[in-house]
Structure 1
């Protein structure tokens, strides 16, 4: 069993710190992805405004309906290409964040499991006869702390999944809008 209560408190604190580190790491990665998507959306919006103004100028300078149709036709392919490029960049951001989340969560989980195994070993290595109930209580407390850690990790993964779904819907909406506009 633990040599003193401080040893148990230290082990519990370590598991709690793993939970916080994982949450902070994953939250930081989510914010980073949001910043990247915001920058992409801003650049796309700026480009769309510039293209729309340029197209408006070209249309106003057209001398006849045939020239107007030629200008409009010349803008369709670049608009589709822009939407495809946007979708590709958004997909890259999503893939990167998903990969980073998986790596960070797995690394933190492996570290927590390793610490948990060491903690359980420390708890059970010097058990005095008749202390089995106390050992079970300690093991249960450790197990509950680890389950809390897993819940934080799972909740964060679900939040990222929801974020990815919303980005995919936004991307589809932008692609649809770009295609109908041109």
Structure 2
């Protein structure tokens, strides 16, 4: 049988190790996301430079102002669509990173909670007589904290889903409206 200080020490070490592992995983995911973001931006810059050069050559070769403005208008719509595609790609990177962070955090919190409850149950078995009220109080506090976390987690997920839905709707509306605006 372990004593309470040894149990707390072992639990603290296990918790520290788990937090270190989670921070390493989150840091790795963050670097992967930054890497995707940089790759996306490099691709966009390279493509934009190539297309800008080609467009500039076409505009310089225009024979009259009417042809110049026709070419300018023709280049506007694809650029708007590319900007929207960039926004969607960036949104995908951010959403997947957020999902990975949320998943890791929820997993860590659930595991830590399970360990705290198990440790408390083990320690409370050996609690001295007369501390039943305190044990009940701590159990109630843990239950209430878990319920609060669950509610916060659900609310946060709903907010993120609402933001993603609004963003998708806005992009769809802009995509739909872009051809009409460039024709005018």
TM range (shorter): 0.5 to 0.7
CA distance in 1, matches of 2:19, 2:71: 58
The CA distance in 1 between the partners of 2:44 and 2:4, in whole Å, is 60
1:66 & 1:106 partners in 2: Cα distance?
A: 60
State the TM-score, normalizing by the size of structure 1. 0.66
* Greater length-normalized contact order (CA 8 Å, ≥ 6 residues apart): 1
Q: Secondary structure, in 3 states, of the residue corresponding to 2:98?
A: helix
Q: Which residue of 2 aligns with 1:38?
A: 38
**Alignment RMSD (CA, Å):** 3.2
Task: Report 1:27-176 matches (<5 A).
Answer: 27-129=27-129
TM-score under structure 2 length normalisation: 0.66
1:120-141 deviation line (CA, Å, top 9, x unaligned) = 12222123448x6xx99xx9xx
Aligned-partner Cα distance in 2 for 1:10–1:103: 26
* Higher alpha-carbon deviation: 20-29 or 107-116: 20-29
| Structure 1 portions without partners, runs of 5+ | 144-149, 151-178
Q: How far apart are the structure 2 equivalents of 1:83 and 1:68?
A: 23
Paired residue total: 143
